[in-house]
Amino acid sequence: MNTPKPEIAPEVEPVEEDEEQSLPQPDEEGLKLDRDAEESSLAAGRAAILAHIKLAPPRPGVYRMIDARGDVLYVGKAKNIRKRIAAYARPTGLDTRIERMVATTRRVEFVVTRTETEALLLEANLIKRLRPRFNVTLRDDKSFPYILITSDHWAPQILKHRGARTRPGQYYGPFASVWAVNRTINALQRAFLLRSCSDPFFESRTRPCLLYQIKRCSAPCTKEIDFKDYSVLVGEANAFLSGRSKTVKDELAQEMEKASASLDFERAAVYRDRLAALSAIQSHQGVNPRGVEEADVFAVHQQGGFSCVEVFFFRTGQNWGNRAYFPKADRSLSPEAVLSAFLAQFYDDKPPPRLILISHEIDDRALLAEALRTKTGHKIEILVPQRGEKKDLVEHALANAREALGRKLAETISQQKLLQQLAETFGLPRVPRRIEVYDNSHIQGANAVGAMIVAGVEGFQKSQYRKFNIRSTELAPGDDFAMMREVLTRRFKRLLSEAPRSQGGELMPHSQDLGSAPEADEPAESPWPDLVLIDGGQGQLTAARDVLAGLGVEVPLAAIAKGPDRDAGRETFFVPGRDSFKLPPRDPVLYFVERLRDEAHRFAVGSHRVRRNRDMRESGLQEIVGIGPTRKRALLQHFGTLKAIERASVTDLMQVDGISAETARRIYAFFHEGAA
């Protein structure tokens, strides 16, 4: 069966009426021409939709509105596609937001599904993937951490997991923060004594490690516990995390009573400590619902043209944290429409709990519950609680949504001022909405990596970061200028092919009002930067300028060179056509640009280390002088993994048989740049 996905209300960004009053008023003839153009465009859109109506099937499915350039404007679902499409071609009755979408539409595509439920799921999947301009879109570039109990080893391991679920096992979550995962795993280790070590470390043990001594592992590695008893512990851990915490605690309490009655006080103390650990998991929480074992709580708040959705996660009767989201949504959409769209996309790649509590009644609530039931195989209940503990949980989430949105608005205003000052300092033609910062990282030319980070109105846009493995074999080792030329050439050649600039290469215009939600008549967010910032001096700037000139690209450029002795606050700036200059030590723009530069450096160095470590794993530890196959084997047997060797101190390395003090220092220096 094709797994479908949820409906999203159309969304466009409206024009503010107040803005028109500040603009010069055109004459009557000009207004008439504008109205004629709008009516002509709207007529063309309606004609395009009418041409597709006869092709639209009278069945459930998903439709896509597409503009003249082939970009998807809107994705929607319908019980009857033909009737839904026909509604867009009505001559009257459409609100301004929908009229703008219709005026831009030049083609409609359809995907038929067997049921409306499948259409709902497919719609959410397409919206999340395509990010259409007129839909509510979930801005979610962070994956959630989970707890994983593996099933691909005779002694399952408990560990923190993030990313694709490729390893066999049971996944529990999501947790809102890594801190919550780590705290829960520590308590679960005390309660169920499951191992957390890696498989290589497990296989190399000849005696129990420290975790066994402090009663946080049952040491299956050295057969301190047999397979049958360890399997019982794994089953209890899975039952507890699956929502049967009360049953598990009752069983442990019964075992403790039996041991106590038979005067086996040592065994009774073990059960007592395990019960205490489970109680600790459920007590260190700010909000602890007694009657809610497993639920997600959603509350939406709107202010200043922005929407905030606060999500709380409750599992096994405990609060697993919360997170605030700021979906891209038209300011004219109601909280109910935003929440409905958000929920459908949120559960596109996450397992839903059996109970979902929401702050506002939404359309298609029953349909969404049915879609999630189809996806998970068990009943899902979506409620808008009116009283009691569940209502209190929703009110608590709503209060957090208000506070989070207030902070977001304050940060946006502050960011707006910084960007305005940045534009003035560097003489930019307008306030930048997209800044790209470039840096390189290598060690004497080896494992060279170029990095690009992106920042804008909402801070760092990590989903837009890119790394460039330097490919040229003709570069001289350490030639930073040539590396920069290669990175910029690859970046802007691709940009020219994927998003060619119109109007003689000019940047598409956009609003200067950074403190408000984007307007409906703005073009989709441009991938072209308003400022390219290079980490380097005049040489790097000249290399960048030559590359862009050769490609026929005009983009504002600037370079930032480190101060004497690499002192922060004494940087020199280079801008084409101007003398180099410095900024006052406490200038907010200086701090802002330093943050951009440091983030680019962090990303470049991190990418370089990943590549270097991968190459090192391929070639082995034998790259280090004095390390041959015998010492390499001894190191891996002692530490278990290469990661553990990398983190080891010189003293720890000297504990390995055959590793002298000098060899230990060489190993440590290999993993830590600049260490002697």
Q: Whole-prediction pTM value?
A: 0.65
- Residue, of 554 and 259, whose pLDDT is higher: 554
- Distance between CA atoms of 157 and 149, rounded to whole angstroms? 6
Tens digits of per-residue pLDDT, 255-289?
Answer: 788 777 778 777 777 777 777 766 666 554 445 56
The full set of domains in the chain, from first to last, is: 17-130 (3.40.1440.10), 146-281 (no CATH), 295-405 (3.30.420.10), 427-609 (3.30.420.340), 620-671 (1.10.150.20)
Please report the pLDDT score of residue 525 as a whole number. 67
Residue 505 pLDDT: 42
pLDDT for the residue numbered 285: 47
Amino acid at 107: R
Half-sphere exposure (CA, 13 Å, Cβ side) for 31?
A: 6
For the cut 90, the answer to whether the pLDDT of residue 557 exceeds it is yes
d(CA 76, CA 344): 12
Write the pLDDT tens digit of every residue in 107-155: 999 999 988 988 998 998 898 888 898 888 887 656 788 889 998 889 9
Residue 424 has pLDDT above 70, yes or no: yes
pLDDT band at 615 (very low <50, low <70, confident <90, very high): low
Over the stretch 9-50, which tens digit does the pLDDT of each residue have? 333 333 333 333 333 344 444 444 444 455 567 888 888 888
Tell me what pLDDT residue 566 has. 57
pLDDT score of 558: 92
Cis peptide before 432 (omega within 30 of 0): no
- Tens of pLDDT, residue by residue over 21-31, are 333 344 444 44
Q: Is the pLDDT of residue 500 over 90?
A: no
The residue to which tokens 């960004």 are assigned: 13
Per-residue pLDDT at 28? 46
Distance CA 313, CA 293 (A): 11
The per-residue pLDDT for range 522-552, each reduced to its tens digit, is 444 678 999 999 988 888 899 999 999 999 9
> 42 or 233: which carries more pLDDT confidence?
233
- Residue 299 DSSP code: E
CB 331 within 8 A of CB 15: no
- Mean pLDDT of all residues belonging to the chain: 80
Q: What is the pLDDT of residues 430-471, one digit of tens each?
A: 999 999 999 888 766 567 888 899 998 878 888 889 988 887
Joined tokens for residue 524: 């989709």
Q: Is the pLDDT of residue 519 over 80?
A: no
Judged on CB neighbours under 10 Å (0-12, 13-18, 19+), 566 is exposed
Strands 531-535 and 434-443: parallel
Secondary structure string (H, E, C) spanning 1-33: CCCCECCCCECCCCCCHHHHHHCCCCCHHHHHH
Query: Would residue 304 be called left, alpha or beta, if left means φ above 0 and alpha means ψ between -120 and 50 degrees?
Result: left
With b for 16 or more beta-carbon neighbours within 10 A and e for fewer, the 263-286 pattern comes to eeeeebebbbebbebbeebbeeee
